[in-house]
């Protein structure tokens, strides 16, 4: 981990990996326990220039068919884009903040400069992702964050949403549903079933809370789309703020995606707050 950037204040410690632009660790010094789950890969990573998957790995944009790049980690999809797989340069770093940059170009039309800032302020981690299009022709973009929260048997999660997309073949969403089944309705705090879940929610109110025996963790982001992912037998829960729903490229109006001309930018920010007093939840 000699390559990592270590940020720390009185409450939190995090380790930033320039390879992939993600976090290797987010640790609560107050509670002497990890906030994010890491099994040797990444505890949090950015998603750009799109989040998740696109059906057929292609989409139409302004009368042209855009064939997405092949991914070295997935045979069918440009999975989560390429930002989480690339080497980011370190623009600046201090005890509590760093800024990473990534310049990326693809024949399909993605041509961008991205900035990724991580900062600590008291008991809050703030992550901010900014993308500026540099290509001559406009292109369609989306952003997201993919944190892996520690979620053990005593943990509970709570957030509100107005609808969801069930998971279909190849992890792509089926038709949107306006009534959320009890098994995946987390409007009241609960642990939920420990099986596989890969659910996209709409109408998210921008706040989600994980209650553990030693702490309460609050995720916030100004976007109405949230992905939830968990696997049977694993002690993690992914809550992923995205600027667009999964496969928005094939939905009417391409919701949440933004068409950027040369010099135009888009951004997504996320905060993870860890309570400073030991909780007895």
> Does pLDDT of 40 surpass 90?
no
Query: Given this model, what pLDDT does residue 280 score?
Result: 46
227-274 per-position pLDDT tens digit: 999 999 899 999 999 999 999 999 999 999 999 999 999 999 999 999
Please tell me the distance from the alpha carbon of residue 80 to that of residue 83, in angstroms, as a whole number. Answer: 8
Mean pLDDT of 50-59: 98
Query: Given this model, what pLDDT does residue 194 score?
Result: 84
pTM, two decimal places = 0.96
Torsion of CA 240, 98, 218, 141, to 10 degrees: -30
Please tell me the distance from the alpha carbon of residue 112 to that of residue 196, in angstroms, as a whole number. Answer: 35
Structure tokens at 153: 């048997």
Residue at 279 is within a domain = no
Q: Are 34 and 212 in contact (CB under 8 A)?
A: no
Q: How many alpha carbons fall within 13 Å on the CB side of residue 166?
A: 10
Residue at 158 is within a domain = yes
Residue at 280 is within a domain = no
Please tell me the distance from the alpha carbon of residue 5 to that of residue 178, in angstroms, as a whole number. Answer: 43
Query: Which domain, by its residues, includes 43?
Result: 5-274
Residue at 188 is within a domain = yes
Residue at 34 is within a domain = yes
Query: Given this model, what pLDDT does residue 214 score?
Result: 83
Q: Are 246 and 52 in contact (CB under 8 A)?
A: yes
The domain tally of the chain equals 1
Residue at 281 is within a domain = no
Tell me, what CATH number does 138's domain have? Answer: 2.70.98.10
Residue at 266 is within a domain = yes
How many residues in the chain?
A: 281
């Amino acid at each position: 981990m000699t390559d990592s950037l270590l940020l720390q204040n009185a409450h939190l410690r995090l380790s930033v990996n320039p390879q992939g632009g993600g976090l290797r660790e987010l640790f609560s010094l107050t509670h002497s326990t990890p906030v994010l789950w890491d099994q040797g890969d990444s505890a949090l990573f950015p998603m750009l220039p799109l989040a998740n998957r696109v059906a057929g790995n292609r989409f139409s944009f302004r009368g042209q068919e855009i064939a997405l790049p092949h991914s070295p980690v997935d045979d069918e999809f440009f999975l989560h884009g390429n930002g989480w797989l690339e080497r980011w340069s370190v623009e600046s770093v201090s005890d509590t903040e760093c800024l990473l940059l990534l310049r990326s170009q693809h024949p399909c039309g993605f041509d961008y400069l991205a900035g990724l800032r991580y900062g600590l302020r008291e008991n809050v981690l703030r992550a901010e992702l900014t993308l500026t299009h540099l290509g001559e022709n406009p292109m369609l973009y989306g952003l997201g964050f993919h944190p892996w929260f520690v979620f053990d048997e005593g943990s509970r999660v709570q957030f509100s949403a107005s609808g969801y997309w069930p998971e279909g073949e190849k992890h792509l969403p089926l038709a949107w549903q306006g009534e959320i089944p009890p098994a995946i309705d987390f409007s009241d705090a609960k642990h939920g079933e420990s099986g596989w879940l890969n659910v996209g929610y709409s109408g998210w109110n921008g706040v989600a809370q994980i209650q553990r025996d030693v702490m309460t963790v609050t995720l916030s982001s100004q976007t109405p789309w949230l992905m939830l992912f968990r696997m049977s037998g694993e002690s993690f829960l992914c809550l992923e703020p995205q600027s667009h729903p999964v496969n928005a490229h094939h939905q009417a109006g391409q919701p949440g995606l933004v068409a950027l001309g040369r010099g135009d930018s888009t951004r997504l920010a996320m905060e993870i707050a860890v309570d400073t007093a030991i909780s007895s939840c």
